[in-house]
Chains A and B, each alone.
Chain A
């Protein structure tokens, strides 16, 4: 099983693998915001948690359409289905590889981008924590979307339309944690909700992804 994870990580780092794509997108979106809303630092500080969360969410979306589609195109998905690996494990490992190459770099880059948006001092810790807790759910839900659209040619747009509504709960509670953290307010409730959503999706989504994948590949 570890072989599949290592293969996906290795492929992500090779040319054309898409590592850094999400990170660069995140960087650009966050850099564009001060140009769009103007340089009032108080306004930027207020909207910073939301913008950073939204940017991270869209950056996660960017590399989803290649998650399973590439394997389907070259036939290795069929071969993985006939391999002695449970399909639930295959999709979980794919989601983990996606998080390690997309979500984790976003978590690590977020504090530096927080500076650009004048994020208030106490917010940095909570921003990182909320992203670290929330982005795994984005990868797991995204894998479900990728499994749904795996047979669809150029399914990227359809994938975004399917996945974005499912990202709403994570976005609400993740951004709320970061916002309350920045404002120095109590944040246990949204933090627990965010962690709960992530745990729930990690536990349940692989079964849904595997089921739709089996149906879709018939």
Chain B
């Protein structure tokens, strides 16, 4: 089942940022979002993940199928690496966290408190969470921030394996992961300043 977005208009802070955006993401495919700061990459990913509704347009095939990883990793610093992963695994109804630990070489850190990890190690743990969700579509917002070169390679391998198993990935990233990926430049879809398009929910806040 593909993810199909049709004629999306998205808002951030009550103002439209993107308009008229349509794209399709098929199983086994990776799509890399490009666009300058403020173009709406994060807004698009959050909307697809269901964290905010689009102002107009339709999204098909996203419900309960997206694993979202944003800027924050969602880790509890007073829980160990294993406890953090096991929590997300049981929330998403999966059991086995060993492959996720292995894919991001977290084995030696398994009993450490997440709060004592370095920024890059936390990021690896945050990305390992994607594997335990068991969801087919990954929506990733700058996934390689604070990763070193080896960790980026681990991440690229994890994405490649996910794609080979019929999953798909949508990423906002500026570094080349060496993946066979389509580019989606969202800057042409930028909403013109002044178009309010009925985005008036700020009036109530």
* In contact, A11 and B79 (Cβ under 8 angstroms): yes
> Across the interface, do B51 and A82 meet the contact criterion of CB distance under 8 Å?
yes
B91 close to A80 (CB less than 8 A): yes
Interface positions, chain A 63-83, Cβ under 8 Å from B, are 73-76, 78-83
A81, B91: Cβ atoms under 8 Å?
Answer: no
Tell whether, in the assembled complex, residue B72 and residue A4 are in contact, meaning their CB atoms are under 8 Å apart.
Answer: no
A153 interfacial by beta-carbon distance below 8 Å: no
Interface size band for B:
20 to 34
Q: Smallest CB-CB separation from B71: which chain A residue? A: A75
Is residue B155 within 8 Å, beta carbon to beta carbon, of the partner chain? no
Q: A170-198 vs B: 1/0 string, CB under 8 Å? A: 00000000000000000000000000000
User: Bound state CA distance, A139 and B35, in angstroms?
Assistant: 45
Identify which of residues 1-29 in chain A touch chain B, using a CB-to-CB cut-off of 8 Å.
3-4, 7, 10-11, 14-17
Indicate if the CB atoms of A79 and B78 lie closer than 8 Å: no
Q: A7-B87, A217-B51 are in contact. Are A82 and B79 (CB under 8 A)?
A: no
Cβ-defined partner of B50 (8 Å) among A11, A81, A85: A81
Task: State the main secondary structure of chain B at its contact with A.
Answer: loop
Given contacts A78-B70, A84-B93, contact A17 B78 (CB under 8 A): yes
B70 CB → nearest A CB, Å: 6
Residue B189 interfacial (CB < 8 Å): no
Q: Nearest CB to that of B50 among chain A residues? A: A82
List 28 A-B residue pairs with CB atoms under 8 Å apart, sorted by A's residue number: A3-B86, A3-B90, A7-B79, A11-B79, A14-B78, A16-B78, A73-B72, A74-B72, A74-B76, A75-B72, A76-B75, A78-B51, A78-B72, A79-B68, A79-B74, A79-B88, A79-B129, A80-B91, A81-B51, A82-B49, A82-B51, A82-B67, A83-B88, A83-B92, A84-B91, A84-B92, A218-B52, A218-B53
Interface string of B49-90 (1 = CB under 8 A from A): 111110000000000101110111111111100010011101
Name which of A4, A11, A16, A78 has the most chain B CB atoms within 10 A of its CB: A78
Chain B residues within an 8 Å CB radius of A75 = 70-74
User: In whole angstroms, what is the CA distance A4 to B79 when docked?
Assistant: 13
How many Å lie between the Cα of A34 and that of B83 in the bound state? 45
Query: Which residues on the A side are within 8 Å of B88 (C-beta)?
Result: 79, 83
**Residue-by-residue, is A72-109 near B (CB-CB < 8 Å gives 1, otherwise 0)?**
01111011111111000000000000000000000000
* Nearest-Cβ distance from residue B189 to partner chain A, whole angstroms: 20
Output the nearest chain A residue to B201 by Cβ-Cβ distance. Answer: A218
Do the beta carbons of B64 and A84 come within 8 Å of each other? yes
Considering the chains assembled together, what is the distance between the CA atoms of A70 and B46 in angstroms? 20
A82 to nearest B CB, angstroms? 5
B78 CB, min distance to chain A CBs, angstroms:
4
Q: Mark B38-50, 1 if CB is under 8 A from A, else 0.
A: 0000000010011
* Complex-state Cα separation, A10 to B80, whole angstroms: 11
User: Given that A74-B73, A75-B72, A218-B52 are known contacts, is A85 also in contact with B78, CB under 8 Å in the complex?
Assistant: no
* A10 to B78 CA separation, bound complex (whole angstroms): 9
